[in-house]
Amino acid sequence: MKQPLEGIKVIDFSRVLAGPYCTMLLADMGAEVIKIERPEFGDDTRHFGPFQNGESGYFMFLNRGKKSIEMNLKDPSDYENLMELIKEADVIVENFRPGVMEGLGLNYETLKEVNKGIIYCSISGFGQYGPLKKRPAYDLVAQAMGGIASITGHPNNPPTRSGASLGDMSAALYAAYGVMVALFHRERTGVGQTIDVAMVDSIFSLLEHNVMRYTSEGTIPERIGSRHPISAPFDVYESKEGYVVIATANDSLFARLCKVMDKEELLKDVRFATDIERGKNESELKVIIEEWLQGYTAEEAVELINNAGVPSSTILNIAEISESDHVKEREMLLEMEHPVAGKTRIPGNPVKLSKTPVQITSPSPALGEHNDMMQQKFKAK
């Protein structure tokens, strides 16, 4: 079956996470992604753990279905070969610090002389323009400066980084959407262009209504743990063994929960009579719920609560969600055979297209695996 991006060639200068995840999203849909890697060393993540038979799981996941060519970008003959590749390319993706590509003679103005319709996507910490453009990018810094750390965590604790690299991942997602918009536009008009995505801007964009709370009514959102800003009980609660999420945003769900807990007297308690009152007295309500939960494990409590029609779930760790029937049926972990690592499992793609489903045609490449293929191509010219 033909994949949607078949025939689209991406020259990928990116390293580590944000750029490689963006080009992974393109490769998953059938684009030919050619990684340009530093000779002998390659993408930094080839040396990052976790390892399986000495092969980096970090690298294998992000680079499935891509090709690898080693090139010394400062070597004139490699540069010449690279220009041959770029002539035939559709998209460039890079995530160096602003200025580095220009220093290598690989900025947009140079490349569009070789390929007028090229789409040139840059991902960086703070963008290609703006007062902070020269600053180095770390996910921790993007989460700190983009505003999300200030609203993540519990009230008496410090601002908290998300356990996942949201700065990189969100920038990659915005960039993939941007590349697709630019490709669609080029398909209709023939016109190429640059795309500039910053990690800090991407984090800021994830904040959703929190920004509007500030701009519409002057409130500065704060850390409130896992609770709902208004409704209660709508939070993470501790059971005898493990944590439980309970999500009741209206009176009828609360009545059902009281019945499950055999505490229907709460319905007559003025502190808990309405959602607004429950929200105001949520810490007292939490004590009562957690007392009840001491009689159950998380799994037992969730079953009781769900059976009463109240939304509730356990909190899955990475092993539990990975081994769940849900992930299995939704193919969110894919088995891949890697020549060094052997059988490995890598995250699937969450976008389920009915006519052109994601096909991962090859594992991540060995460093320079496609050097020969390219050499033959250059000789043939």
- Catalytically active residues are 228
Residue 47: DSSP 8-state: G
Number of residues near its own copies (by CB under 8 A): 141
Pick from 200, 257, 285, 293 the residue near its own copies by CB under 8 A: 200
Burial class (CB in 10 A: 0-12, 13-18, 19+), 247: middle
The reply on whether position 325 binds its own copies by CB under 8 A is yes
Q: How far is the CB of 11 from its own copies (least distance, A)?
A: 18
The reply on whether position 100 binds its own copies by CB under 8 A is no
Q: Which of 365, 364, 367 is CA-nearest to residue 39?
A: 367
Pick from 198, 285, 289, 293 the residue near its own copies by CB under 8 A: 198
The reply on whether position 276 binds its own copies by CB under 8 A is no
Residue 344: helix, strand or coil by DSSP?
A: strand
Pick from 268, 350, 380, 381 the residue near its own copies by CB under 8 A: 350
Q: How far is the CB of 142 from its own copies (least distance, A)?
A: 9
Q: How far is the CB of 72 from its own copies (least distance, A)?
A: 24
Pick from 327, 340, 360, 366 the residue near its own copies by CB under 8 A: 327
The reply on whether position 247 binds its own copies by CB under 8 A is yes
Specify the stretch interacting with its own copies by CB under 8 A; choose among 87-95, 97-105, 256-264, 327-335: 327-335
Pick from 105, 225, 295, 339 the residue near its own copies by CB under 8 A: 225
Distance of CA 198 to the CA centre of its chain: 14
Q: Which amino acid is at 294?
A: Q
125-184: contacts with its own copies (CB under 8 A): 126-132, 135-136, 138, 140-141, 144-154, 157-166, 168-171, 173-178, 180-184
Please work out, in degrees rounded to the nearest 5, the angle formed at the alpha carbon of residue 207 by the alpha carbons of 202 and 212.
125
- Assess contact for 149 and 167: CB atoms under 8 A: no
Six token digits for residue 287? 């004590």
Asked if the bond preceding 50 is cis, omega within 30° of 0, the reply is yes
Q: List C-alpha distances in Å: 357 to 5, 30, 195, 322, 362.
A: 12, 10, 27, 21, 15
250-269: contacts with its own copies (CB under 8 A): none
Specify the stretch interacting with its own copies by CB under 8 A; choose among 79-87, 268-276, 316-324, 369-377: 316-324
Q: Which amino acid is at 258?
A: C
Residue 213: helix, strand or coil by DSSP?
A: helix
29-68: contacts with its own copies (CB under 8 A): 29, 48-52, 57-58, 60-62
Pick from 100, 221, 277, 371 the residue near its own copies by CB under 8 A: 221
How many other CB atoms sit within 10 Å of the CB of residue 129?
A: 9
Q: How far is the CB of 348 from its own copies (least distance, A)?
A: 8
Q: How far is the CB of 174 from its own copies (least distance, A)?
A: 5
Pick from 68, 115, 239, 344 the residue near its own copies by CB under 8 A: 344
**What's the rounded Cα separation, in Å, for the pair 57 and 337?**
13
Q: Which of 3, 56, 343, 29 is CA-nearest to residue 334?
A: 343
Pick from 91, 197, 232, 367 the residue near its own copies by CB under 8 A: 197
Asked if the bond preceding 233 is cis, omega within 30° of 0, the reply is yes
